[in-house]
Structure 1
């Protein structure tokens, strides 16, 4: 008698607790960025400057020149990152949980 009452109570508690519907907030679709001609020209300039820096021979440069080029490259990377947009990042813990769930389910 106690066992059936306990089982019935647990089943009813699961149905009551699990019956809530989760509603997602509706967001408008993300609009694609449209770049102007001046922005496209700037992208090309940045890309060509980065290629020039990659082709340079750093062994012949002084310490100050190397430092100047490094700061310039960091500034170019920061500018490119601002125009790039956001990405999807998955933490290590979440990745492990996903892999474990896939192993269990498959």
Structure 2
């Protein structure tokens, strides 16, 4: 239990330090999307709506595979323009295992 409390204290300390770094004056704020990015976003949303409306049962496996690859590329493009932290499944599993082992 003591280790768990220490781990929580470390977690909150790191978060507080991160918030303090973000609050520094002179740090550039998150940028808004440009007009080209907004247009591309609208195009991607329209294409996703088309894909959702498709009947996959009447398609061949190769067509479905092409659509999945297209969606993966759009997802990667969307992540590249967005700001955020993404954790992989492997990283989440490792974090959970470390928490279990430390407690």
In which range does the TM-score fall when normalised by the shorter chain? 0.5 to 0.7
Query: Pairwise mapping of residues 80-91 of structure 1 onto structure 2 (< 5 A)?
Result: 80-87=78-85, 91=95
Question: TM-score, structure 1 length as denominator?
Answer: 0.56
Relative to structure 1, is the Cα distance of residues 88 and 76 closer, same or farther in structure 2, using a 3 angstrom cutoff? closer
Give the Å deviation of 1:85: 1.3
CA distance in 2, matches of 1:84, 1:66: 27
CA distance in 2, matches of 1:77, 1:41: 16
2:41 corresponds to: 43
- Structure 1 residue runs of 5 or longer lacking an equivalent are 1-23, 101-106
Higher relative contact order (CA closer than 8 Å, sequence separation 6+): 2
Give the Å deviation of 1:30: 5.2
1:55 corresponds to: 53
- Structure 2 residue runs of 5 or longer lacking an equivalent are 1-16
Higher helix share: 2
CA distance in 2, matches of 1:47, 1:56: 14
User: How many residue pairs get matched?
Assistant: 75
Structure number, greater radius of gyration: 1
2:8 corresponds to: none
